[in-house]
Structure 1
Amino acid sequence: MSLPAILCLHGSGVNGQVFKFQTSALQRLLSKTFDFVFLDAPFVREAGDGVLPFFDGCEPFFRWKSKSDDNIFSHEEIEPEVRKLIEKTLKSRDDWVGILGFSQGGRLAAGLLVEQERREELGESDGEGFKFGIFLMTPSPPMSELVYEAGGVEKLQIPSVNVVGTQDKWYESSKKLHKEYFEEGAAKLVEFDMGHRVPSEPADVMGVAREILRLYLETTGVRGVLSKD
């Protein structure tokens, strides 16, 4: 029997293979509970900060926006190529439970959840969808045109954890995402003493893993396990 799935969305300037490596310690801890599914964004770009030379040879690298990343706060929507990729992936299985994103991938993940909750609000949901979200070093705002509607959007109710780095250049923006777009009590803010990268210190990775298991238990009633392998 297959394990429930978590969709993993990489940051700008890397790819699914790199993100899989960056989160390998987290995956090992949760290998008996979840299947982590990685995608490549549809738009090619140069390597992101800190990617080379370690990941030299892992090209091409991608991003979730067709235009330059110079202004990540610009008015954005989920572009057709991205939407098509996500929809195709979600239709490939029916056991999705969570979505995990880093940086720009986290902004896309938040945007997808904004749209999911809007469909639920309008009675257009089929009852399926992600049950929880994990956001790693994710700046504000969510990547969705709904964010720019008059009056904005309702705060996200979905149980989530927002991991931010106190040395991250987007630290304040990441805290803004948590405060302005997530309902208090639904999302937990976790701060690590680190910059803009995927958590890799054993204690930090363990902390994230335990938060994911907590979310899984709260939303499904199923108690996951940590792998000791």
Structure 2
Amino acid sequence: MHAKTKPSIVFLHGSGTNPDIFRMQTRKLAALLQHHFTLHYLAAPLPRGPGPGVLPFFEGCGPYLTWMDDSSAEAEKEYWDGSPLFERLLEQIKRLSGPEGGSAGAGPVVALVGFSMGGKVAMELTRRLEGEGDRRIKMVIPVCGTVPLQGGFDEGGARNETKEKGYREILGRGPVKAKSIHLIGEDDPWRPESEVLVDFFDETGRSVIRFKGAHHMPLDDALNRQVARMILAACKDG
């Protein structure tokens, strides 16, 4: 790799936010990574209202975006079965992961950081690439990640047969082999989904860090330094 070229990390925001908001939310981690990696913040393709915790701090910071239509099990399952939205995002990752990278001085993508919905999108992107024999993604970092089809349950915990079938099908496609760091908020309302998302990754390469907080990026300086060190150790050897 050329001396002036830095490997890339892609950041995938949560539902109901956007890249600019995610830059603010990840500022502590990004500050520790920016000298070693080129950071790319991608925009989801669909409009929606502000996501959980976005208002009032980010009022007027729209448009607010989402990766998929998850208003029903059927709509979300279309995304996981290779919708045009997912395929376009996959092609975007491939372009950034090419030998020339995504911009001047940017090398191939070696890690994905995904918050909430972005966490499960990062998981499936990595699995698809691995299925095609592409192992450039060395680490996935789901932060307060959610699970395809909500782990088979509706809001409130009622079992949904359509969601459960689809969720089991996706889980049954095999684990992601890339290393992973799962950041899970102890008071996150979506913590059960974050815990389940761990199972989508190979147990030999996954690390779980539970932090004091809810559905947000962790703000603790020591924790961010720990995560940055782990990412650097896994990804900076290419």
TM-score (norm 1): 0.81
- Give the CA RMSD over aligned residues: 2.7
1:146 deviates by: 9.0
Q: Report the alpha carbon displacement of residue 142 of structure 1 after superposing the two structures with TM.
A: 8.5
**3-state SS of the aligned residue for 2:213?**
coil
Aligned match for 1:107, one of 120, 123, 127: 120
Residue 205 of structure 1 deviates from its aligned partner by 1.7
Shift of 1:66: 2.9
Structure 1 segments unaligned to the other structure (5+ residues): 121-126, 223-229
1:29 to 1:152, Cα distance in 2 relative to 1, 3 A: same
Alignment partner of 1:47 is 2:67 = no
Alignment of 1:210-225 (within 5 A): 210-217=229-236, 220=237
Give secondary structure in 2 for the equivalent of 1:191: strand
User: 2: CA distance between counterparts of 1:11 and 1:130?
Assistant: 20
Whichever residue aligns with residue 163 of structure 1, its letter is L
Q: Distance in 2 between matches of 1:202 and 1:28?
A: 11
Tell me the CA shift for residue 63 of structure 1.
Answer: 0.3
Amino acid at match of 2:58: F
Q: Deviations over 1:168-200 (max 9, x none)?
A: 11212211111x211212111111111111111
SS at 1:184 equivalent: coil
Q: Among 55, 78, 83, which residue is 1:79 paired with?
A: 83
The one of 141, 145, 161 aligned to 1:138: 145
Bigger drift between 149-158 and 199-208 goes to 149-158
Cα distance, 1:148 vs. partner? 5.2
- Number of the residue aligned with 2:211: 192
TM-score normalized by the length of structure 2: 0.78
Shift of residue 133, structure 1, vs aligned partner? 1.0
In structure 2, list runs of 5 or more residues that go unmatched. Answer: 102-106, 151-164
- Structure 1 letter corresponding to 2:145: T
Whichever residue aligns with residue 187 of structure 2, its letter is Q
Q: Which residue of 2 aligns with 1:117?
A: 130
- Which of 25, 33, 46 is the aligned partner of 1:22? 25
CA distance in structure 1 between the partners assigned to 2:123 and 2:179 by the alignment? 12
